[in-house]
Amino acid sequence: MKQQAKSEKNKYKELEEEIHYLRRMNKELLDSQFQQDSLDFAWSGNLGHWYWDFPANKVTFNPMKAQALGYTKEELPESVNFQFFTDKLHPEDYERVMELMRQHLKGEIPVWEVKYRIQTKEGHYKTYYDRGKVTQRTEDGSPLFLSGIVFDISEDEEEKEELLAINKTWIQHSRLDQMTGLYNRNNTLFKLGKMIKVAEENSSALSMILLDIKKLEHQKTLFGELFGDEVIQTVSRVIKVHLTGEEFAGNFEGGKFLILLPHKNQLEAKELAKKIQYGIETASYSKPAEITSSVGVSSYQLYDTVSQFYNRTDHFLQKAKKENR
């Protein structure tokens, strides 16, 4: 008898909880229906409303939300909880999404509004925009019911990424000298200023090489303008081959190149300059021309301005040219 009474008591308790759940749901549906009568939710990507009974941890939602993830109605559990969706969040998004939800449940932020990636049944990710809020609380402020609306914005995000990539490529091309693929004069000077600032703040080494192709105008006179372009392009390729990591090169002006070497002292920069010069001398050219170069090398000194650093390096370059080195 006692066992039977206990069983009936448990059934009564479950029935009572179900009645409370249904009452909250009915109230929410009535309120939501009123809002839908006055608002148009037929926006692109709309996956419909969702409702979350917090004490029961039951989520009621438009089937489109699950279908968009590749699940049929038959594949869904009889009772869907909050974790059914949060367990599918992208690992990089999970903690951010959950923290925003925690803040909203505590009443620290008025609305739960978030963009996240969620895994489909096939294993790839879609991007959802989700917005909701606690619509019912207990007298002490604990959440009872939440409702919201979710959108699939995957296509928008893909388009955005494509546009960002195109924009990044355009910006990159705008910084480059079209003939050599190295940075152009303006951006070379801009980069020089930034590197000087870093070297000053971190007390780190920074060296500069100024390289000038010898007798380029004479080579153009002998073999034509196009051969001059070939020489500049070949020298640019040789320079790029010898640079690593943060090292940087720019086509400063016709036949003159500026190379910046973070974390290298003057002796290391001179060794690299010799390798580049040898690479230029031994490169293949379409004409029987002897292509050589002169270099000036110096290291950044504390509180150098862009002009002081450049002019000191250029002084060594001019000296080398006069001495035919």
Domains of the chain: 2-158 (3.30.450.20), 176-322 (3.30.70.270)
Residue 41 has pLDDT above 50, yes or no: no
pLDDT value of position 13: 74
Give the pLDDT band (50/70/90) at residue 155. Answer: confident
pLDDT value of position 25: 67
What is d(CA 16, CA 14) in angstroms, rounded to the nearest whole number? Answer: 5
Residue 157 has pLDDT above 70, yes or no: no
Give the pLDDT band (50/70/90) at residue 325. Answer: low
Q: Give the DSSP H/E element, type plus range, for residue 225.
A: helix 225-241
* 43-60 burial code (b ≥16 CB/10 A, e <16): eeeebebbbbbbebebbb
What is d(CA 105, CA 99) in angstroms, rounded to the nearest whole number? Answer: 10
Give the pLDDT band (50/70/90) at residue 35. Answer: low
Q: What is the mean pLDDT of residues 300-313?
A: 93
What is d(CA 282, CA 160) in angstroms, rounded to the nearest whole number? Answer: 46
Summarize the chain as % helix, strand, coil (round to 5): 50, 25, 25
DSSP-derived 3-state class of residue 112: strand
Residue 17 has pLDDT above 80, yes or no: no
Residue 42 has pLDDT above 60, yes or no: no
Residue 266 has pLDDT above 60, yes or no: yes
Q: In DSSP terms, which residues pair with 127 in a beta bridge?
A: 117
Q: In DSSP terms, which residues pair with 53 in a beta bridge?
A: 58, 145
pLDDT value of position 34: 45
- Residue 89's nearest CA partner among 51, 132, 45, 126 is 126
pLDDT value of position 98: 94
Rank 24-38, 184-198, 263-277, 310-324 by mean pLDDT and report only the highest.
263-277
pLDDT value of position 60: 83
Half-sphere exposure of residue 319: CA atoms within 13 angstroms, side-chain side: 9
What Rg, from alpha-carbon coordinates, does the chain have?
34
Give the pLDDT band (50/70/90) at residue 1. Answer: low
| pLDDT tens for each residue of 96-134 | 999 999 999 999 999 999 999 999 999 999 999 999 999
Which residues are CB-contacts of 274 (< 8 A; sequence separation ≥ 6)?
none
Helix residue ranges, H only, 68-184: 83-86, 91-105, 154-175
Average pLDDT, the chain: 84
What is d(CA 25, CA 31) in angstroms, rounded to the nearest whole number? Answer: 10
What is d(CA 269, CA 244) in angstroms, rounded to the nearest whole number? Answer: 13
- Residue 45's nearest CA partner among 152, 120, 126 is 152
Q: Give the DSSP H/E element, type plus range, for residue 309.
A: helix 306-322
pLDDT value of position 180: 83
pLDDT value of position 37: 38
Q: In DSSP terms, which residues pair with 69 in a beta bridge?
A: none
Q: Which percentage of the chain shows pLDDT scores above 70?
A: 82
- Residue 253's nearest CA partner among 188, 194, 311 is 188
What is d(CA 10, CA 117) in angstroms, rounded to the nearest whole number? Answer: 40
End-to-end, the C-alpha distance of the chain in Å comes to 110
Rank 62-76, 168-182, 205-219 by mean pLDDT and report only the highest.
205-219
pLDDT value of position 272: 96
Residue 7 has pLDDT above 50, yes or no: yes
